[in-house]
Amino acid sequence: MLLSAIKENDNNETRVSISPESVKLFSRLGFEVIIENGAGETSGYQNSNYEEAGAKIVTRSECLKADVCLCVRMPSSDDINNLKSNSLLIGILNPYENKSEFSNLNENKISSCCMELIPRISRAQSMDVLSSQANLAGYRSVIDAAEQFGKAFPMMMTAAGRVNPAKVMILGVGVAGLQAIATAKRLGAVVSATDVRAATKEQVESLGGKFIMVEDDEAENAETEGGYAKEMSEDYKKKQAQLIAETVSKQDIVICTALIPGKKAPVLITEEMVSSMIPGSVVIDLAVEAGGNCPLSKMNEIVVHNGVKIVGYGNVPGRVAKDASALYAKNIFNFLSLLIDKENKKINFDFNDEIINSVLLTHDGDVRLEQFK
């Protein structure tokens, strides 16, 4: 079996779908591994690193003819049309935004797997791309905030006087939010966090943060079966906005991480709230690619509003591309291990497997996932 990894065409994408370390793992599954020339350069991996691990460096057209093709983002229509018929495409394919490509995938009988749809169940943890990438995004968001903030994070006692610690607030306590809390605490900040899910209170406090939330009956059922936050009612949103407004004005740094899969990101910080913050404060909007938790955010820009910086970097995991690529490649390896019939050296889809049924978007000329039909 031939497995390939293609170079990403998106200028904002610095990650690659395979690392030199994972080449050896894929080889153990029975694959011959080929990599597009220069595919790993933006992640810090040279062609020679892959060759030393046992991979071959080839052209893009050769990669597209492999039995299994790995990518980070959905390839272009031209690339999809050049994929080998009945082959397997694995990546973060964003089916909510890429429905126009379904017909191309089906016409070429491409089986496609969306890694971001891996279910949040215990046996799928090692395959959970959203968690591995969000962890790094949460970490990097605090580093970016520290870079833009004109003061120190920890309290310092000096002969010349005391430096007060930075006050950091995290909006949204998912994987990214928890890592942001942990990183900000390690840097010495005073940290608070809010989320619609009451179940996150214990997690926040275990990391040394202060938990703030709107407490009413709706908050008790604010989590989906998959562990994600639900979209809340307008009444709840008003209460939440009031709570955030009262707290944000006292913060030095606010990190927004709230996302709802397949929907526009909820607005959590209004222009009025930003105006209430002290000049020199920083807002990091990790939801900018989904419309932003702050209406002032702009993709890949730092907007200054009344002296407050609103940072809207896209693809934040790609800002630590080497680690993000390594974790992503391992996620794919763990998932692909499920599909391999080791005796016959071929791909085998077990349609009784909950994980496979959750991520297999197209197969045998048809869209399989009901939510995208």
- 274-312 burial by CB neighbour count: b if 16+ within 10 A, else e? bebbeeebbbbbbbbbbbbbbebbeeeeebeeeebbbbb
- 28-37 burial by CB neighbour count: b if 16+ within 10 A, else e? ebebebbbbe
Question: Is 228 annotated in the active site?
Answer: yes
Which of 27, 203, 228, 319 is labelled catalytic?
228
Which of 77, 125, 206, 275 is labelled catalytic?
125
Question: Is 131 annotated in the active site?
Answer: yes
Question: Is 125 annotated in the active site?
Answer: yes
Question: Is 120 annotated in the active site?
Answer: yes
CA distance 207 to 23: 36
Encode the chain in three state secondary structure: CEEEECCCCCCCCCCCCCCHHHHHHHHHCCCEEEEECCCCHHHCCCHHHHHHHCCEEECHHHHCCCCEEEEEECCCHHHHHHCCCCCEEEEECCCCCCHHHHHHHHHCCCEEEEHHHCCCCHHHHHHCHHHHHHHHHHHHHHHHHHHHCCCCCCCEEECCEEECCCEEEEECCCHHHHHHHHHHHHCCCEEEEECCCHHHHHHHHHCCCEEECCCCHHHHHCECCCCCECCCCHHHHHHHHHHHHHHHCCCCEEEECCCCCCCCCCCCCCHHHHHHCCCCCEEEECCHHHCCCCCCCCCCCEEEECCEEEECCCCHHHHHHHHHHHHHHHHHHHHHHHHEECCCCEECCCCCCHHHHHHEEEECCEECCHHHC
Which of 19, 73, 87, 128 is labelled catalytic?
128
Which of 17, 131, 132, 192 is labelled catalytic?
131
Question: Is 285 annotated in the active site?
Answer: no
Map tokens 């005796």 to a residue.
343
Which of 120, 126, 276, 319 is labelled catalytic?
120
Copy the structure tokens of residue 39: 């595919």
Catalytic residues: 120, 125, 128, 131, 228
